[in-house]
Structure 1
Amino acid sequence: MTKHRLWTTAELLKDGQTHRQIAAATAAGKLHPVIRGVYSVREPTDRMTLRALADQRKVPLTFTGTTAAFLYGLTTMQWPAQGRVPREAGRRGSSLLTVTAGQTLRRWTIDGFRVTSPVETAVCLADGGWDQQQLRNFLTREYSGAKGNDVLVEDLGALPPRLRATAADLLDGLVTGTASKLELRAVTRILRALDNVDVTVQVNVKVAGYRFDIVIPEADVLIEIDSFAFHGAGGEKVTEQTFLRDRWKGNTAVRSGWTLLRYADKCVDFAGSHMAEQVADTVTYNLTHRRTRRRRSPGELLATDGLVWEWHPLFRRA
């Protein structure tokens, strides 16, 4: 019998043991109950118990709250564990597990355990009275590295509306990743402005074949954050092709029925509150006047609504 493996009663019976032998081995301390119907040949640890709880559910279990904090190494294990399952699944828990039902748009994996993202975990802990500086240190650690800000932007966009204001407070002035990220600053401000507005904030999503910085699909709103280097006339990263592609990209989105908002990098840094206010107002207006807007069907689009590099003479010549 493998030392580090968890064994169910059915597996032990299939291995040749009887119910009487299982009971005798348990009484002798050779087998240890982990949860009902699951055993280990060594003394169960907290992680072993969490593994048994997750493995015995028919649907994916994502650990949340203080249990996620334990798996991130922030605290000791506190029982019962906290977990979330999809809304359509049963919420039956036990003395060892409290289960809630809901959607988890972004999750991380730690040693094989599914957990809420660091920012969602931090927000839930903040609401539970945890020290904010400890949580800010945790966020700095988890979102370090070259792609730290990219991951944080995606995790932020997946937060439920009720968590956004607390997330913005925790991240205010926080240095994450290896450099300041323009999109992160923009998304943080927009999420704060959309507090309690039930919409999804997505980042780096394709619409009509083009990738946009921020997408709010329920309100048909697209947001582009344009740095001068990549979008301004004479910018060091601007070529004739990138300038041309940018224009047709915006036209296609608008013709397809989306509202497109564009802001310069300086607007995010020096007029961020005004930017966020305008975004929030556009979102609520579009949600309120939903019936007056209609997206074009595929049959109503022109050939020039396709990807510009597939038909434009400048690209075909290159």
Structure 2
Amino acid sequence: MMRKKYWTTRELRALGKTGNEITAAVRRGEIHRIAFSLYTSEKPTDMVKLAALAWARPGLVYTGPTAAFLHGLMPMSWPAHGSISRGRSSDGGKLLRLTTAVQQHSVRVNDVPVLSALATAIDCQEVGVRERRDFLQRSYGGVKGNGRLAADLAALPPSRRARAADLTGGLITGTASNLELRAVRAIVIALDGLDVTVEVNSMIRGYYFDIVIPEARVCIEIDSWFYHSAETASSEDFVKDRWKGNAAVRWGWTLLRYPDASIRKALDEVAAEVLDTVEFNLANPRARKLRTHELPTDRQVWLWHPR
């Protein structure tokens, strides 16, 4: 019986347990009562109780302060808040405060269904704007951060998108490292007032580049010594990195590369050079015709290179 995490009273009785035996097992600490007709074999922490309640109610999505707790924004407070699909009972007992709603876009945190980080930040008015923006920046970091943020934004009801835009305006997401984040912040500030977009971990010719300014056809790579030098990078990564740069340049992009030491020690100079490059490209659109004929080497290197 202990291999299972959660049971209803009906399931325990199906195992041959009487009411007295269930009560005795609870008294001995072999199982724990979460709510009416709901038991667990684990110590009933806040997370265990939330997971048990979600297990017992398919379709439950945690919202409000409970979503904020699951995302690490606020401490847990009971009763938990959640939504359930229309047509289902909204009686959550003592531990659940439920609302009914159309099926909501959700993610899983610790395998528990919860509103997205973006939707949670919009609703969590108890937390200051700066703290929520920092939270969103952490939540949507990494190579796929921008894609996840776009999906969560698109899933919001139209009535909430304006608030989302206010909360995420100027936010830097999708960064893979603190080093890259420092560079992006400096470049965003340097380009303030120019009608350009700063994209992070954006794709050109099948390759991801750290920073892309599409209107000026400028792409930027932040190269750490460990991952990009010939001495420490793998031979495959070293080869890929060179062909990646070639593909961008051959197809009309200005590629700027900066080592990590320059981000740490000469960030003002980096930002100034990016600004000058962007302004020059905007003022002088390339007169030469862009390529239309693709060589095999213009494709991603792993599709054709012998290694």
Tell whether the 8 Å contact from 1:34 to 1:48 is kept in structure 2 after alignment: no
Residues 1:169 and 2:166 are matched in the alignment: yes
Identity %: 39
Alpha-carbon shift at residue 15 of structure 1 (Å): 2.3
Following superposition of structure 1 onto structure 2, how do residues 67-146 of structure 1 map, counting pairs within 5 Å?
A: 67-125=66-124, 128-146=125-143
Does the residue aligned with 1:85 lie in a helix, a strand or coil? strand
Q: Structure 1: which amino acid aligns with 2:22?
A: I
Counterpart of 2:52 in structure 1 is 52
Alpha-carbon shift at residue 144 of structure 1 (Å): 0.5
Counterpart of 1:154 in structure 2 is 151
Counterpart of 2:209 in structure 1 is none
Q: Distance in 2 between matches of 1:42 and 1:123?
A: 33
Counterpart of 2:243 in structure 1 is none
- Per-residue CA deviations over 1:209-252 (Å, capped at 9, x if unaligned) read xxxxxxxxxxxxxxxxx9575xxxxx9469xxxxxxxxxxxxxx
Alpha-carbon shift at residue 86 of structure 1 (Å): 1.8
Does the residue aligned with 1:141 lie in a helix, a strand or coil? helix
Does the residue aligned with 2:43 lie in a helix, a strand or coil? coil
Counterpart of 2:8 in structure 1 is 8
TM-score (norm. length: structure 1): 0.53
TM-score (norm. length: structure 2): 0.55
Alpha-carbon shift at residue 107 of structure 1 (Å): 1.6
Alpha-carbon shift at residue 115 of structure 1 (Å): 0.8
Q: Distance in 2 between matches of 1:31 and 1:164?
A: 44
Q: Which runs of 5+ in 2 are unaligned?
A: 185-213, 218-249, 254-277, 279-307
Following superposition of structure 1 onto structure 2, how do residues 1-318 of structure 1 map, counting pairs within 5 Å?
A: 1-2=1-2, 5-57=5-57, 59-125=58-124, 128-178=125-175, 236=251
Q: Which runs of 5+ in 1 are unaligned?
A: 181-225, 230-234, 239-265, 267-318
Does the residue aligned with 2:82 lie in a helix, a strand or coil? strand
Tell whether the 8 Å contact from 1:32 to 1:40 is kept in structure 2 after alignment: yes
Return closer, same or farther for 1:42/1:88 CA change in 2, 3 Å cut-off: closer
Tell whether the 8 Å contact from 2:25 to 2:31 is kept in structure 1 after alignment: yes
Q: How many residues align?
A: 190
Does the residue aligned with 1:91 lie in a helix, a strand or coil? coil
Tell whether the 8 Å contact from 1:35 to 1:52 is kept in structure 2 after alignment: no
Return closer, same or farther for 1:105/1:228 CA change in 2, 3 Å cut-off: farther
Alpha-carbon shift at residue 105 of structure 1 (Å): 4.6
Q: Distance in 2 between matches of 1:73 and 1:129?
A: 14
Tell whether the 8 Å contact from 2:42 to 2:48 is kept in structure 1 after alignment: no
Q: Structure 2: which amino acid aligns with 1:141?
A: R
- Alignment RMSD: 3.0
Alpha-carbon shift at residue 159 of structure 1 (Å): 1.3
Alpha-carbon shift at residue 3 of structure 1 (Å): 6.5
- Per-residue CA deviations over 1:139-169 (Å, capped at 9, x if unaligned) read 0011001121121112112212332232122
Q: Distance in 2 between matches of 1:129 and 1:16?
A: 48
Q: Distance in 1 between matches of 2:64 and 2:95?
A: 15
Alpha-carbon shift at residue 83 of structure 1 (Å): 0.8
